[in-house]
Chains A and B, each alone.
Chain A
C-alpha cells in the first residue's frame, strides 16, 4: 500500500531522444507526486511535481503525465541531453503522512 514502483531500473537514450520513466502507486490517499533528479554524490533535487487534479504538467523539456484511474504517472524528458544523465526518482505523499515515499530510481544515460 505504501510502495511506489518505478521502472525501468536503467535507461539508455540517444541525444535528442525521449526518455520515459514510469511509476505506479497503490495508496489512493497520495495527493502529491514529485520527481527528483540526483547526480552522484549529491542530494536529490526537485525537478517537477504534480497533484492529481491535473493529467499533465509541463516545464520546459520535462513533462509529467498522470493517470489517476490507473494510479500511474510518468516522466517524459524531451530532447534528452548528456547533461540529463542522472538517477531519477519518483515519489508520492499524502493522507496522514508528510513523508515522501520514493521509488527505487532509474539511472538514465544519454549518449552523445
Chain B
C-alpha cells in the first residue's frame, strides 16, 4: 500500500454535472499527477501539479482542471460531464516533477483511484 489516498471511492453523476475528486499525496512528495483509466486500458495522463501550479498536461479538454494545495494535496475537477468520462481516476505522487532539466525522474506512487460513473 502506498501513502496516497483518494476520495471518494466511487461516484455516480449524470451527464452535464460537475465533479471534484480529491487526492492526498504520500509524505515527502511534492508532485501530484492525475490519470484517467478507461475500462481495459492503460492510464492516460491528464495533468501534473508541482508547487501548486500545473506542470504539464495531456490531451484533455479545459473542462478538466485541477488544484494543488500548500500541503501538496490535490483536486481534479471535471465540468460538463460526458458519458465517456466514466473511468477510474488515479492520482500519483512523486518527489520530483520530472521537468526538463530536472535532476531525475522519480517513481510515481498511485492511489487506489476513484471510480466515476456518468449516466
Q: Does B8 contact A (CB under 8 A)?
A: no
Within the complex, the shortest CB–CB distance from B55 to chain A, in Å, comes to 7
Q: A98-B56, A98-B99, A103-B42 are in contact. Are A44 and B48 (CB under 8 A)?
A: no
Q: Which residues of B contact A103 (CB under 8 A)?
A: 42
CB pair A102 B43 closer than 8 Å:
yes
Sampled A-B contacts (12; CB under 8 Å): A36-B110, A42-B112, A43-B2, A43-B112, A89-B43, A91-B42, A98-B105, A99-B58, A100-B35, A100-B43, A101-B45, A102-B42
Q: Which residues of B contact A98 (CB under 8 A)?
A: 31, 33, 48, 55-56, 94, 96-99, 102, 105
CB pair B58 A44 closer than 8 Å:
no
CB pair A99 B48 closer than 8 Å:
yes
CB pair A95 B100 closer than 8 Å:
yes
CB pair B107 A46 closer than 8 Å:
yes
CB pair A105 B97 closer than 8 Å:
no
Count of residues in B whose CB is under 8 Å from the partner chain: 34
Q: Which 5 A-B pairs have the closest CB atoms?
A: A98-B98, A102-B42, A43-B110, A99-B45, A96-B100
CB pair A93 B98 closer than 8 Å:
yes
Q: Does B108 contact A (CB under 8 A)?
A: yes
In the complex, chain B residues 88-117 whose Cβ is within 8 Å of any chain A Cβ: 90, 92, 94, 96-100, 102, 105, 107-113, 115
Which residue of chain B lies nearest to A92 when distances are taken between CB atoms in the complex?
Answer: B105
Instruction: List the interface of chain B (C-beta within 8 A of A).
Output: 2, 4, 6, 31, 33, 35, 40-45, 48, 55-56, 58, 90, 92, 94, 96-100, 102, 105, 107-113, 115
How many inter-chain residue pairs (CB < 8 Å) link A and B? 73
Within the complex, the shortest CB–CB distance from A99 to chain B, in Å, comes to 4
**Which secondary structure dominates chain B's binding surface?**
loop
Q: Which residues of B contact A54 (CB under 8 A)?
A: none
In the complex, chain A residues 6-64 whose Cβ is within 8 Å of any chain B Cβ: 6, 31-32, 34, 36, 41-46, 49
CB pair B98 A97 closer than 8 Å:
yes
Q: Which residues of A contact B33 (CB under 8 A)?
A: 98-100
Within the complex, the shortest CB–CB distance from A36 to chain B, in Å, comes to 8
Within the complex, the shortest CB–CB distance from A31 to chain B, in Å, comes to 7
Which residue of chain A lies nearest to B33 when distances are taken between CB atoms in the complex?
Answer: A99
